[in-house]
Structure 1
């Protein structure tokens, strides 16, 4: 058997699995398809139209690794929002929610936090689709962004040109307010354990806060302007 015969046999096997295999087999076949060059890439692109959404999603993410022009075109024409699952809708203009300013959702998709332009914070249970409680921080400016810590225990609220606040998400009580004011206060993020908060300000400085001790850990200065939102790994 020649090398070409082996490749042809492999491609035929991938085609058969994509046509008649179980979902798990189809996804495995897509992974194998990369071994067969352009012919395999064509099969992955075709899989974007597979009847199984899970297979489409696998093909979509696999194609992200390709730099081929036809791959980029296929991704541009594809609608990735098919992977989203509708949960529920909160109307923007009601007696309960007036003009939503910013939102965040906990990592385990259990809690939704909404802030409106009156600085009223609503904490929602996403399973029951009901408000758990509502509170209003004492802030001089409208909140620009909010963030839920990965441990779902604390909530960060910040507003441009002002201070950041850290709140206990479970009971709606403020833990502390950052004591550094800046002309360009950009935002906050949490460490994966939810114990440390980092604030970004002035386009060059990261300030770390120990949430339990409510004090600053040494800052990091960066020579170039940094992004307004900083994830921590």
Structure 2
């Protein structure tokens, strides 16, 4: 729910800076003044202020789609998409400069960012949540391009993160062998639950559509199902003989896939825990997964530098995509199921899933890319990696 208040909404509101070298003008007149400022950071903060003024504020956001600064245009587009998606559709020509895949900006990193490679990311409307090697979870304003909130509590590297559909709960997995549940409606003491039971690193977490059943994959070779409202382990699957790198659920929650360091991919019925398929084809460990919206195709990325497409109806390999120079660490599929995004060493490749043809290669990272995520409206791709960069890309 885009308008639900979360702690970082409050923090963001409290960090809107006054204009440099001038008095703070109140009301819609003050917002208009700041949104026409010659200083881009002032215009970015004014975008958030405009949300308070109904249709008049929305008109200011729409006008900002024509701003000379790409980051201001991007911030306006995010806020309009959250507030009034139909307006974005009607004003799409104003966004015409993004008819091709292109780099927008990078989020501003702290001074000692080199100690904070990005392990995982998820997008929450106008906010981004990232997991880091320094044990932290960081919340960023995509409109301002700045970090605004930090969650601390894990005692080791945070490996994975997922947010509930209502945007109230955040779940994180860590090398400290625990899973933490955070209440994003609480400004103080947001950590509400710690799940213990794994005997190795928790490498992956995913939520079933009921938003109460959590799935976790671990270094201890098991997959566990949890009731997060009760803090209870429901069942454990012991199908792998090596550590579980990742688990992924289909959009409707009817299919689950898991991968291991021994190249094995297993496909499961998450409701019964029964195995459907065992997929063999990669020559090295499998790192990443994605499932098409129609549940027909599973896509896997591997250390062997290839991407494989699997038919989930027959359990057969459909195709192999080649071209990456390093291991394929992250995958994402567009909501219409037509476009595949794959991340590897320094590059993100974009593929047409139907033709299996490469569309574009995005370059902007300095090392291995660990995570990619698409925004809810499908118009933004965000990537994070070993170089501690978080890059934002436009998607046509």
Give the TM-score, by structure 1 length: 0.64
Work out the number of aligned pairs and report it.
200
Instruction: Tell me by how many angstroms 1:218 deviates.
Output: 2.7
Deviations 1:58-91 (A, max 9, x none): 7xxxxxx99799x969945441679963464442
CA distance in 2, matches of 1:213, 1:66: 39
CA offset at residue 228 of structure 1?
Answer: 1.5
**Structure 1 residue 167 displacement after superposition:** 0.8
- List gaps (5 residues or longer) in structure 1: 1-10, 46-53, 59-64
For residue 32 of structure 1, the aligned residue among 63, 68, 71 is: 63
Gaps of 5+ in 2: 1-27, 34-48, 84-101, 110-142, 152-162, 171-180, 182-191, 335-396
CA distance in 2, matches of 1:18, 1:176: 52
For 1:75 and 1:184, how far apart are their aligned partners in 2? 38
The alpha carbon displacement at 1:141 in A equals 0.7
Aligned mates of 1:107, 1:173 — CA distance in 2: 16
Equivalent-residue separation in structure 1 for 2:108 and 2:331 (angstroms): 28
**Alignment-derived partner of residue 85 in structure 1:** 168
Which protein is richer in strand relative to its size?
Answer: 2
For the 8 Å contact 2:262–2:285, the answer to whether it is kept is yes
Partner of 2:135: none
Q: Deviations over 1:152-200 (max 9, x none)?
A: 1111111124311111111111111112352343332211222211222
1:103 aligned onto 2:207: no
User: How far apart are 1:13 and its partner, in Å?
Assistant: 8.6
CA contact (8 A) 2:201 2:218 kept: yes
Call closer, same or farther: CA 1:25–1:85 in 2, change over 3 Å.
Answer: farther
Two-structure CA RMSD over aligned residues (Å): 4.3
Give the structure with higher Rg (CA): 1
CA distance in 2, matches of 1:68, 1:189: 26
Partner of 2:375: none
Trace 1:50-61 onto structure 2 (pairs within 5 A): none
In 2, the alpha carbon distance for the partners of 1:68 and 1:176 equals: 41
2:104, 2:219 → 1: CA distance? Answer: 43
- Bigger fraction of residues in helix: 1
Conservation of the 8 A alpha-carbon contact between 1:164 and 1:178: yes
Structure-2 change in CA distance of 1:226 and 1:81 (3 Å) = same
Partner of 2:253: 152
CA distance in 1 between partners of 2:324 and 2:199 (Å): 40
Structure-2 residue corresponding to 1:230 = 331
Distance 1:115 1:182 in 2: 21
CA spacing shift, 1:183–1:90, aligned 2, 3 Å: same
Instruction: Name the CA distance, whole Å, in 1 between partners of 2:105 and 2:207.
Output: 36
Following the alignment from structure 1 to structure 2, what is the Cα–Cα distance between the partners of residues 232 and 138? 27
Conserved in 2, the CA contact under 8 Å of 1:141 and 1:162? no
Distance in 2, Cα, partners of 1:205 & 1:159: 16
Query: Which residue does the alignment assign to 1:6?
Result: none
Determine helix, strand or coil for the equivalent of 2:63.
helix
Are the structure 2 counterparts of residues 230 and 122 from structure 1 closer, same or farther at C-alpha, using a change threshold of 3 Å? same
Select the structure with the greater relative contact order (CA < 8 A; seq sep ≥ 6).
2
**1:124 to 2:226 alignment:** yes
Counterpart among 270, 279, 295 of residue 169 in structure 1: 270
1:7 corresponds in structure 2 to none
Task: State the match for 1:18 in structure 2.
Answer: 50
